[in-house]
A and B are shown apart, each in its own frame.
Chain A
Amino acid sequence: MTGVRWRFCTRWDEEPAAVLGMSLLRLGICRPADWSGSAVDFVERGFKRFCQQHGNQEVKKVWVGDLRIMDYIFDLSPRERDEAEAEAEEPKTVLYLVGDYEAAASIPIGATLPHLEREHELLPAAFYEGFTTNLWKWMRVYDYSAAKEHAEMWTDGLNEEEIKESVYPKVATELPACMGRHGRKFKAKGAVQFLHQVYPQMHSSIARQLVKYVLEMDAAGRGFTHAWPGQISDNDTPSLGDWLNDAEDCRPGCLITWYENDTINACFDEEAQHMGENGPCQPNVLLGINLKKPAAQLDRQVRKVFDHAAAMLASLASAAKVVERVREIYDEYLREHRLNSGFQTEPSPADLWQE
């Protein structure tokens, strides 16, 4: 079998991959050594190396998901693919960069906030705002705001007795004092400016590390905004609008709670039970590459898409360091308070998405 490559694709896969491959070769993302005889392999090798160069391994420590180049926005079974290809008159002329998460990364941030507050009264709020704003560029974030919205919506249909018994009123009361007092003081830009200001004067190594990683996140993602699926041009993908109308909101890429199994967690579990019930969920990140363009224009477009991917990976690599530190602090908090770790004996609804 020496010299025989492992993948053989139809012309439906090879043709679009070859057009993209030429652009990637011109841009230096793919190398001549990546060529094995298949354009799909060629693109895959270049893209894999690209992801590794931009912190893919670090991101994987916290987030389970995919960043893929696809010819359809959603996964197709082999049979659906065959049918789609039989109906099509020519190979696909648009490829997509699709980013999605298989599960929401748990970030119990409550125990971290006192460490920050000891440095500066406003630091917890600024850190939280800077961190979540930067996460929002690459994923839907489920946190206190989402839980509050969920609680308000579900409280509407309940009587007083039911409201008392439910978790909904507790969402607001569980808000840590440092966040309640100063939570609204910062908008994204102001929060990052504040972090830049206080960073040189900080003494605690934990707080310094956390702020440093958030500033790294911000630097990597500066100038980028969230590539929501709805922003893709209708000219490139005429049928996308219909699909988006039928699809549900994307699933959150992270769950920021104060402590595990708190009221935010409870609201999330309630919502997660119904996610994807009425149709497929939109991916978190979607960018199109229209292959029917002159080489120079195509290269500009591909560069833009790959710059977005690079920024996403680099920013999430720094975010992963924040999350690991936050989890360590939370574990320490659990040890100090002689509580059991948050490992659940049964998976929560959020863990059962795939099933």
Chain B
Amino acid sequence: MTRQRQCRKRRAVKRSARSRLVTGEVDRVMRELEAATRHGRRQTDPFVEQLKRCPKAFKAGEMIGKILDSLKYSQGNDATADRYLPPPGTVIPPLA
């Protein structure tokens, strides 16, 4: 009887620990979502943090993004779009 009661007690303790963990997780995600509703995106985004630490890469990415955007939206009507493209056969070295 005593052993049975102990087992039941242990199971109950385990169950309550698990439910506390789940509740904690739900609260954490709820907070993250709440932050997203206020700021649009999280302040501590790991990817953004990495970019902040390396602004040069961010600048290069931004420039390439702008060039690609202008190419994407020009729909072939923009004569200046050709300027962004290297001459045929050019070998482009990776970013130093």
Contacts from A to B (Cβ < 8 Å):
3-5, 8-12, 14-15, 17-19, 21-22, 25, 32-33, 35, 37, 39, 42, 78-79, 91
Contact = CB atoms under 8 A, between A and B. Distances in A.
A79 B45 contact: no
B65 to A, nearest CB: 12
B47 A35 contact: no
A29 to B, nearest CB: 13
B52 interface: no
A14 B26 contact: no
B32 A15 contact: no
Contacts of B37: 15, 18-19, 22
A21 B47 CA distance: 21
Interface string B32-66: 11101101111001110000000000000000000
B83 interface: no
A18 B42 CA distance: 11
A79 B42 CA distance: 25
Main secondary structure of the interface of A (DSSP, over half): helix
20 contacts: A5-B47, A10-B40, A14-B36, A14-B40, A15-B36, A15-B37, A15-B40, A18-B33, A18-B34, A21-B33, A22-B37, A25-B26, A32-B28, A32-B29, A37-B32, A37-B42, A37-B47, A42-B29, A78-B72, A79-B73
A11 B29 CA distance: 18
Contacts of A35: 29, 32
B40 A37 contact: no
Contacts of B42: 37
A188 to B, nearest CB: 42
Contacts of B72: 78
A32 B31 CA distance: 11
A80 to B, nearest CB: 11
Contacts of B25: 32-33
A10 B72 CA distance: 19
A4 B33 contact: no
Given A22-B37, A35-B32, 6 more contacts: A4-B47, A22-B33, A25-B30, A32-B28, A33-B25, A78-B72
B22 interface: yes
A91 B40 contact: yes
A50 B70 CA distance: 39
Interface of B, helix, strand, loop or mixed by DSSP: helix
A78 B71 CA distance: 13
Nearest to B44: A37
Nearest to A1: B47
B45 to A, nearest CB: 6
Nearest to A32: B25
Nearest to A5: B47
Contacts of A11: 39-41
Contacts of B32: 35, 37
A19 B37 CA distance: 6
Contact of A32 (B22, B34, B39): B22
A17 B26 CA distance: 17
A25 B37 CA distance: 14
Given A25-B26, A32-B22, A39 B73 contact: no
A21 B33 CA distance: 7
B36 A18 contact: yes
Most buried by A among B25, B37, B46: B37
A22 B35 CA distance: 11
A183 to B, nearest CB: 53
B72 to A, nearest CB: 7
**Most chain A beta-carbon contacts within 10 A, residue among B22, B29, B39, B47:** B29
A295 B8 CA distance: 38
Nearest to A3: B46
Given A14-B41, A79-B73, A91-B40, A25 B47 contact: no
Contacts of B39: 11
Contacts of A22: 30, 33-34, 37
Contact of A25 (B33, B36, B41, B46): B33
Contacts of B30: 22, 25
